[in-house]
Amino acid sequence: MNDVPRTGGAAGSDAVRTRFLIDLGRALHEYGLPAHRLEAALGQAAAKLGIRTEILSTPTSLTLSFGDPGSQHTAMSRVQPADLQLDKVVALDEVVQAVYRAELGVEEAVARLEAIRTAPVRHGPVLTTLAFGVVSGTAARFFGGGWPEMGLALVLGLLSGLLAVLAGRSVTVARVFEFTVALLATVLAHAVARQVHPLAANLVVVAGLVILLPGLTLTLAMNELGTGHLVSGTARLTGALMTFFKIGLGVGLGGQLASLLPGVGVDVAADTPAPWTLWVSLLATPAGLAVLFRARWRELAWITAGALVTFWSARLAVGQFDVGLGSVVGALTAGLAGNLYARLRHKPAVVVLVPSLILLVPGTIGYRSFSMLLAKDIMSGVDSAFTVMLVGVSLVSGLLLANVLLPPRHEL
């Protein structure tokens, strides 16, 4: 890292400045930034403060070494993988930019970081649970489901949201969260299909679990690997695979239990509702994602615009070419939308990028691959797994290309 003279609001003792960098790094990690963005943003902050710093971020640790080689002192933090909290990422960015402009001293910035950390979570448990239901219900429409599928997927989404709230309050519940939700969703979907109304039960299960599928984690892992962050990328990729395993095992056991229920287990074809329901789903999904990613309501219009442009560009590209090139085009559009937002609004690009990208991530394909492998359909499962990797690489390629064509003004 290059040493930069300290000026204005960036001035402060070495202890205060290193404390600021440590707290900033922990906060960026806690609020869900991937390694390549975290290290770049933290490296930029260290250079602005005139501190030579070496940074290593992994999903479970953050290591900062300060000083010249041979006389370094190191601070290592044990951290846990976290969900993205867009409101706090924006708040962190505002503090950092104020320090860069000499409008805020480092000591005051440290206090601001602590205030951000202790601030209550945006959007309460009721709204979060409703957002789970909305996103699952609209996902059923995207997958080609009709009114019965959308209604049941919404109910399963509400169940997932309720259990997610409980998992956030209990470490024990959190450890079996994905498995439990997958098991319950599978049993309930097949029970309704057998006892209440014929419907596409498998489609409903996928839609009901769509928020839990680690497609975004998988894409971030591929992005980290593509940008040379091999330790973090490999660890994140392993975590995504473990989540797939837990969901797959829950679905497999749920299917076995459902087969014991009375009735005929027939997975009927869904009747696609009117085209206007697709537009309603496209408008409702960004609102649900804004709640789940803790975005500010004032950013909803930008998030919705980015999601719409990304969805239709990817859909048109897939229709004209194939899923690989369609994913490249979709990710390129999402990246350009996020970077354009960052330039126009002077806010982090991830505010628009992540909700847009979530419509493209290959979590559903990965789930189907594990389902096929559990059903001993080896060839189809392997083929689907290959498609997952193809889509992941395509998404990363599109994002990297977007950063070349329209670079963001700063690292977040």
Task: Mark residue 62 as left, alpha or beta (left: phi above 0; alpha: psi -120 to 50; beta: remaining).
Answer: beta
Is the pLDDT at 309 greater than 70? The verdict is yes
Question: What contacts 369, CB < 8 A, 6 or more positions away?
Answer: 381, 382, 384, 385, 387, 388
Mean pLDDT of the chain: 85
Q: Where in the chain is the domain with CATH 3.30.1300?
A: 8-118
Measured distance CA(233)–CA(39) in Å, rounded: 13
What 3-state class would DSSP assign to 332? helix
Is the pLDDT at 301 greater than 60? The verdict is yes
Residues 8-118, CATH architecture: 2-Layer Sandwich (3.30)
Q: What is the pTM of this model?
A: 0.86
User: What token pair was written down for 24?
Assistant: 């900033």
Measured distance CA(325)–CA(394) in Å, rounded: 7
What 3-state class would DSSP assign to 61? strand
Tell me the per-residue pLDDT of 53-68, one tens digit each, with 9 for 90 and over.
999 998 888 999 998 8
How many other C-beta atoms can be found within 10 angstroms of the C-beta atom of residue 322?
A: 12
Is the pLDDT at 1 greater than 50? The verdict is no
Buried b / exposed e along 115-127 (16+ C-beta atoms within 10 A)? ebeeeeebbeeee
Instruction: Find the mean pLDDT for residues 318-344.
Output: 88
Task: Answer yes or no: are the C-beta atoms of 193 and 174 closer than 8 Å.
Answer: no
Tell me the per-residue pLDDT of 128-173, one tens digit each, with 9 for 90 and over.
999 999 999 999 888 888 899 999 999 999 999 999 988 888 777 7
Lowest mean pLDDT among 65-79, 161-175, 265-279, 388-402: 265-279
More confident residue, 96 or 217: 96
Cα distances (Å, whole numbers) of residue 144 to 207, 221, 275, 411: 10, 29, 11, 38
Provide φ and ψ at 298, rounded to 5°: -65, -15
pLDDT over 90 percentage in the chain:
37
Task: Answer yes or no: are the C-beta atoms of 129 and 155 closer than 8 Å.
Answer: no
The shares of helix, strand and coil residues in the chain, as percent rounded to the nearest 5, are: 70, 5, 25
Task: Answer yes or no: are the C-beta atoms of 314 and 329 closer than 8 Å.
Answer: yes
